[in-house]
Structure 1
Amino acid sequence: MKGSLDIHSVIKPLEIEDFSAVIALGNHVHGEGYLTMSSLMTMRDKGIKAGVNASFVLHQQETLIGFRLTYAPGQWQIDQWCSPTLWGVDVQDLCYFKCNTIDPLFQGQGSGGRLLTAAITAVKKQRGLGGVSHLWQQSPNNAAVKYFTKAGGELIATHLGRWSDPKEYSDYECVLCGCPCQCSACEMLLRFN
């Protein structure tokens, strides 16, 4: 049974008191081991720059129903899954949209877009010009790529096995393919206006 997003839902910056609920929701939606207390602390810290937090949570009443984790420009590492020569924007000017997660009961109601808008507003305050993301192509109905494309994101490349690296994802068990994850990641770039 689907839940209904009401007008009293609130988006606010991610804080430590949100961590337990964020970890539980992230692991429920993406698979066990997707988030830990340590990894989430690192992710949150990478999102804070110039006193602005670019990671957000969405609550309806007292219940967490979604979150967006974003790394601030200049506070994330290029890895083998990145194609900076194809971006046309200096990496120091780009944030990294790490993760957007909505409770399955509330998906399809615009929550992901609302969280993305909040992150973009924050990253602009951090002087960012755009953002890169690796979106889960196998998300239900390919919703991740669809909503990011709708927001203006352009596909740069598709990477097979993005989340299979045992050094980075040793405890991660994908909800679709288990361990190691063999899902594809769509590397996408979103330029801000």
Structure 2
Amino acid sequence: MTQKQPVVTYRELTAADHAAVIELGNRVHGENYLTDENLADYMQRGQKDGVNLNWLAFVDDELAGIRLTFAPGQWEIDDYCTPEAWPVAKENMCYFKCSAVAEISRGLGIGRGLLERSTAAAQKLGCKAGLAHIWMQSPNNSAYSYFTRCGGEMIQEHPGRWYELSIHGGYHCPVCDGICHCTAGEMVLRFDR
């Protein structure tokens, strides 16, 4: 008996998707990583000049992956950024805020498919690269492996990237079992490669 191949489809994030996106994001990244308030903010930051950089993937009509990306000019440089080491100016960069793929749907190319769609949207806004803070303690270091396979280059590692969020924002890290001490890999993906 042959097994039916899953059907993967993609579309832009809409406000109607919030509850499902929050549930999947928190299942992958930990409790309170996404909330109604921050997702509304992220959705707004991911839209500019009629272009939506936020994408969703579905397997057989069930949400299987999310990619939240901030448009150029709609994200801040913080203490975990090293702009002097970036290959392009901030004005020409989007910010890859969050990616999550349901465990049951991994291995179907969903992460790459979401990234490609988000990158294509960012290029419409003049972006030449995207910045991400990759979760270095993700299970099996899958986040770093995935982003590296997609062409991401390490700029610098930043210990304690999500510590403040876990202390003051209610974020519960699934790896640290509460207060987060995980390291973020500041990585850049150039679009001209």
Q: TM-score range by the shorter chain?
A: over 0.9
- 2:52 is matched with which residue? 53
- Identical columns (%): 42
Map 1:63-142; keep pairs closer than 5 Å. Answer: 63-142=62-141
Displacement of 1:168 in angstroms is 8.2
Amino acid at match of 1:99: C
Could you tell me the TM-score, scaled by structure 1's length?
A: 0.93
SS of equivalent residue, structure 2 residue 134: strand
For the 8 Å contact 1:5–1:106, the answer to whether it is kept is: no
Partner of 1:32: 31
Deviations along 1:41-96, one digit per CA (max 9) or x if unpaired, are: 10011010110000101112331111000000111000000000000311011000
- Counterpart in the other structure of 2:188: 189
Structure 1 letter corresponding to 2:45: K
* Partner SS state of residue 163, structure 2: coil
The worse-fitting range, judged by mean Cα deviation, of 6-15 and 96-105 is 6-15
Structure 1, unaligned runs of 5 or more:
none
Aligned to 2:10: 11
Secondary structure in structure 2 of the residue aligned to 1:144: helix
Deviates more, 1:165-174 or 1:119-128: 165-174
Question: What is the TM-score of this pair, normalised by structure 2?
Answer: 0.93
CA–CA separation in structure 1 for the residues paired with 2:180 and 2:46: 26
Answer whether contact 2:154 2:187 (CA < 8 A) is retained: yes
Distance 2:126 2:36 in 1: 28
Distance in 1 between the 2:102 and 2:47 partners?
A: 25
Q: Residue in 2 aligned with 1:147?
A: 146
For 1:156, the equivalent position in structure 2 comes to 155
Paired letter, 1:188: M
How many Å separate the matches in 1 of 2:69 and 2:108?
21
Q: Deviation string for 1:2-27 (max 9, x for gaps)?
A: xx994532111110111100000111
Superposition misfits of 4+ residues, deviation over 4 angstroms: 4-7, 166-169
Residues 102-153 of structure 1: CA distance to partner in whole angstroms, max 9, x if unpaired?
0011113211011000100100011111100000111122111111111111
SS in 2 for 1:165: helix
